[in-house]
Each structure stands twice: as structure tokens, then as C-alpha cells.
Amino acid sequence: MHKGRSCGVLLHPTSLPGAGGIGTLGENARRFIDLLAGMGMSWWQVLPLNPAACGNSPYSSFSAFAGNPLMIDLDALVREGDLPSQDYEETAGEHRVDFGSLIPVRTKLLHNAAATFFASGRTARMEEFWSFCDSTHWLHNYALFMALKQRYHGKSWHQWPASAALMDAKTFEKASIELGPEIGVQKYLQWQFSRQWGHLRSYAAAQGIAVIGDIPIFVAYDSADVWANRDIFLLDEHGKPTVMAGVPPDYFSETGQLWGNPLYDWSALAARGYDWWVERFRYLFSQFDCIRVDHFRGFESAWHVPGGHKNAVKGSWVAGPGRQLFDALISKLGPLSIIAEDLGLITPEVEALRDEYGFPGMKILQFAFGSGPYNPYLPHNHVKRCVVYTGTHDNDTSAGWYASLSENEQDEVREYLGTTGDNSADDLMRAAFMSVADTAIIPFQDLIGLSTEARMNVPGRGDGNWEWRFTWDMIDKDLMARLRGKMELYGRCQHQPL
């Protein structure tokens, strides 16, 4: 993390404006970086960039390593000659991603681009592509997995024929040859994503903006990670999970939450020096300057629910790798720039693990009210080594949150913050800027004062999530100067005026 006080903005790239139905890594992303730099910000925080699977969630992905091809800037493919000139019609007032209609159209365009690229023969770009393939250790397993998924009509890998689901070396080689064309397409898409993200990150760095990524601790069962590495997960001989991840019953849910992710065989990983985790962190640190570790407590202990159960009531806490893993990571990768997502019911053991390595935790201002003056999220209880947020991708916007409170709760918020409540998003942002926390991160929706319609995710809701986008006309012309003034006032401004 930066030395001293700083501030940043949380926005997933899919929420960027632009033609084509979804935010991409193209011109609008660079314009957004310019906006952040002009405000005096230091950070751009994103959600996982992986291919979204179940419910279009970036936290449920077919790969812990791959990038989401839907974010590829098609205009760049046109400039490079892989796509004919396209007119992407921007629908008036397009504030949401319509994944259902977008995915087939965009997938076809990307496949066409790959076909043109491979038909172009041996070029400097082809040499660059082969170099990427040779140096990207996870790529072939992922590309083969996606090609098999297409062959078997999108079914989860455990529903494939056993020869494909539980593949041996001979079948692996045979399938790699048979499915060569589709494997090539998948590798091309990952190459394009990787180089476009690399260019964008370099652009951000030149503007003084560092990028915070996100690493979900658990991976999806239907992923290349589990299919190709069954020996590091707690699975039976048929590849079915013997236990599943979740959290026990609590104030929010009488039956707990059953996430369904497979759990790691930490003893098998320890015997291998935690190699899969070392490579995962190594790869993500090549993409980001800092990483938020989602569900950090799972490294200390995780809730194991026996396979086949319909809810999370009957489970048990099982110790995770704790210090052993982080010592292995540090010995291989050096100091780790990590934010520990330590929300929810956190034990002293989890806090000790976080603090031993100096990882900052998270303080969410929307969680600060309603339980008295000792609530750790109230600004007067903050510590320097933490990251304060008004809310996260799982929260309502601050304006929506305040509007949903009872009159008594609103009174408490106004009394504590010393405000009228006329602009609740601004009130919470001011509290975040004033906090002693070294770093403040503001969801972009709060920065531009949007209400519940701009919420990114409602946990537990099956559809309608991850769709929100902004448009440039939502931004006041004086926003940049106004925010820069606040950054300077509260000692969080990192950049000289442009």
C-alpha cells in the first residue's frame, strides 16, 4: 500500500460506459483513469477480472487465473485488423449490461477475430502470441477445459463422460489435438485480454494510479482449477466434493449460507510447498499492485459442510494453513501487498494472523451504526492500518442505504456525523476522508451520488446482479475539481494538478 494517506475508487470495468453493451479495457477505461488522476486519487479497485460463470458473478468463475473475454476492447481488434470495422450502436440511456443478449453476439465477434488472426500466418503478433502461450502455465488446462465445456453443451465437468471428467494423460493429449481449433480461440482471447490489461495498467501507472485486484479464497467447483487439480481439493474418487464451503447460522440466516465451493486439501498443498497458491498469487501480483483477499478468515479456519447437505447448519470449523501459507508465499514472492477482507464474525485468531503480517483490514461505514459507541466501524474507533469504505460491491449505495433506515436510525447517523442528512453519500464520504485510516476507497456510485438503482450486487439474489453501468452524462463538470479539493483538505491527494 502507499505510504501515508491516500484515496481510491471502487468500480468494476464492466460498469464503464461505451458502445457494445458492456464496459471494456478500451478508451473509456483510460478516460476513467484520467478522471481519477485529476481528482488526486491513488487507487482504482476492481472486482475479480475472471470469466464470470454462475449468475454473471465475477466471484464464481471458470478459472482463478483467466481474464473475462467480454471485457476485451473490440475497437482495438478492429485497429489490429482482426475484426472488420464495426458500428457498435450505443442504446440511449444504457445503464445496465444485458448479459443474455450480449454474450452470444460478443462471443461470435471474438471467435471471428480469432479466426482472422490465425489465418494471417506467421507475423510478429503471432510470435508474441506463441510466447504468451509458452510462458503462461495455466493456459492450456483452461483452454482445453473451455473447449470440452463447449463440446458437452455447457454442462458442469462432473456431468461429462468419465474419460473427460477424470482425464488421464493419454486422453488429455488426444483431446488437445481433437479440440485444437477451439483451444486456439480460447488462448487467443486470453492473450488479447492479457495484453489489453497490461497496456491499461501501464497507462494507469503513468497517471499515478495503482490498481487493487480481488482474490476470492474459494474457487468454483465447475472450474478448470478443480478439474485439472483434483488432488488439492477434498473430493472423492468420482470427483464429487466430500465437503463444501459456507458459513454457519447467524443473525442473518437461520440455516447459514451454503456456498457449495469445494475446500482445499491443505495437507496435500503443504507437502507441495503450497505451489498452486504461490502461482496464483504470483500471477495476480503481475496484474495488480495490491490484492484484496476475499474471506481472509478462511485461511485461519473454514466452515466445512458435509457433501450432499442442503444447508449449512451441520458443519464444523476446520483449521486452515494460517502462517504456513503466508510464510511460503513471502519466501517465494517477497512482501505481500494485501488487504484482508475481515468482515463478519472474526475471531481473535484471525485478527492475530492479519496483524502478524501487517495486512490492513476493512472498515465499512454502513456497518458502523446501531450498536453503540464501541462499534469498530465507527470512525472514532478506526486505526491507521486499515482501509475505510463507505460500502462495498455487496452493499446498497450510501444514498440507498440511508433512505432504507428507520427514522430513529437516520437520527443517529445525522447526530453522529453532525449533518442534516440531505446528502447522505457525501456525509459518509466525508467521514471516510476524515478517518485516520491510511486508505479510503469510495464506490463510484457514492462519488456521483446515485441511489439504489445503481447497486451492483444483492447477496442471495439469483439474478439482476453485476449489471450496473454509468454514463458520462452522470458526472458533473466540476466533480474533478471538487474531489481534488477534498483530497487536499484531508491530506489524501497524491498528485500534482494536471
Q: 52-78, pLDDT tens digit by residue?
A: 988 899 999 999 999 999 999 999 999
Q: Helices 139-151 and 124-135 meet at what angle, rounded to 10?
A: 100
Spatial distance between the Cα atoms of 220 and 231, rounded to a whole number of angstroms: 15
Q: Is residue 96 within 8 Å of 254, Cβ to Cβ?
A: no
What are the beta bridge partners of residue 306?
A: 243
Percent of residues, the chain, with pLDDT higher than 70: 97
Instruction: Over range 148-152, report the average pLDDT.
Output: 97
Q: Quick one: which H or E segment has residue 440? A: strand 439-443
- Angle among Cα 360, 366, 370 to the nearest 5 degrees reads 115
Q: Specify the pLDDT at position 89.
A: 59
What pLDDT band is residue 85 in, cutting at 50, 70 and 90? confident
Q: 387-410, pLDDT tens digit by residue?
A: 999 999 999 999 999 999 999 999
Q: Is residue 323 within 8 Å of 353, Cβ to Cβ?
A: yes
The set of catalytic residues is: 294, 341, 394
Say yes or no to pLDDT of 3 above 80.
no
Q: 181-198, pLDDT tens digit by residue?
A: 999 999 999 999 999 999
SS3 for 218?
coil
Q: 474-491, pLDDT tens digit by residue?
A: 999 999 999 999 999 999
Phi, psi of 273 (to 5 degrees): 70, 25
Range from 31-35, 82-86, 426-430 carrying the lowest mean pLDDT: 82-86
What separation in angstroms does the CA of 152 have from each of 158, 180, 433? 11, 16, 51
Say yes or no to pLDDT of 461 above 50.
yes
Q: Specify the pLDDT at position 459.
A: 86
Q: Specify the pLDDT at position 92.
A: 46
Topology adopted by domain 6-489:
TIM Barrel (3.20.20)
Q: 315-373, pLDDT tens digit by residue?
A: 999 999 999 999 999 999 999 999 999 998 899 999 999 999 999 999 999 999 999 99
Say yes or no to pLDDT of 2 above 60.
no
Q: Specify the pLDDT at position 1.
A: 56
Alpha helices for 216-369 (secondary structure H): 224-228, 266-271, 275-287, 323-333, 348-356
**What are the sequence ranges of the domains in the chain?**
6-489
Q: 231-244, pLDDT tens digit by residue?
A: 999 999 999 999 99
Question: In the predicted model, what is the mean pLDDT of the chain?
Answer: 94
